[in-house]
Amino acid sequence: MAGSPDVQNLIELRPMTEPDLDAVVHNEFFAYAFPWIRSIFVECLNAGNECWVACIEKDIVGHAVLSIGGGESHLLNVCISRALQGNGYGRELVLHMLARARRGGADALFLEVRPSNVVASELYASLGFSEVGLRKDYYPSHLGHEDARVLVLDLESYFGE
C-alpha cells in the first residue's frame, strides 16, 4: 500500500529522538490550535510508543505517534507542517504508521479525529477507515469542546492477509 512515488522520494521517515523535540513541538504549535506540549512527546518516547518524524532534506516537517498493544493500535498524533499540508506527506506518514502497527502485531488501528478536520477525515476515508463511535466533548475548542469521531481500520484486510 504505497503512496505517491514523488512524495516517497522527497520524504525520509525515521524514528523520533529527544533532540528532535524542538522541531516537533514547533510544527505542532503552528499546525494546531490545541497542540500537544513537549512533555507529552517525552512521555510517548519514554513509554516506547512508535514515534516517527518526517524529514525533507534533514528538516523535520512532520511527526506521528502510535501505540500498540493487545492486538490493537492507536494513532495518537499525526502532524505535517502547515506550510506543507496538502502535498501527500500526511498520507505517506499515515501509510508508514499503518505498516508499523501491522509489523507490531496489531490487527486494527483506531484513531480520533475532529469532525471539523475535513482534510484529515477525507484522508482516513480514502484509506478505508470506518467510523465506529463518537466521543462527546473530547477535544478542547475555542467554543468549549468538540466531539471526536472514532475511526478504525482492519489491518488484516487492508494488507490483504
Question: 43-84, pLDDT tens digit by residue?
Answer: 999 999 999 999 999 999 999 999 999 999 999 999 999 999
Answer for the pair 51, 65: CB distance below 8 angstroms, yes or no.
Answer: yes
| Predicted confidence band of residue 2 (pLDDT cuts 50, 70, 90) | low
Active site residues: 112, 124
Taking residues 95-120, report their average pLDDT. Answer: 96
Between 142 and 84, whose confidence is greater? 84
Backbone angles phi, psi at 77, to 5 degrees: -160, 135
pLDDT of 138: 86
- Strands (DSSP E) contained in 5-48 are 12-15
Answer for the pair 84, 62: CB distance below 8 angstroms, yes or no.
Answer: yes
| Predicted confidence band of residue 4 (pLDDT cuts 50, 70, 90) | low
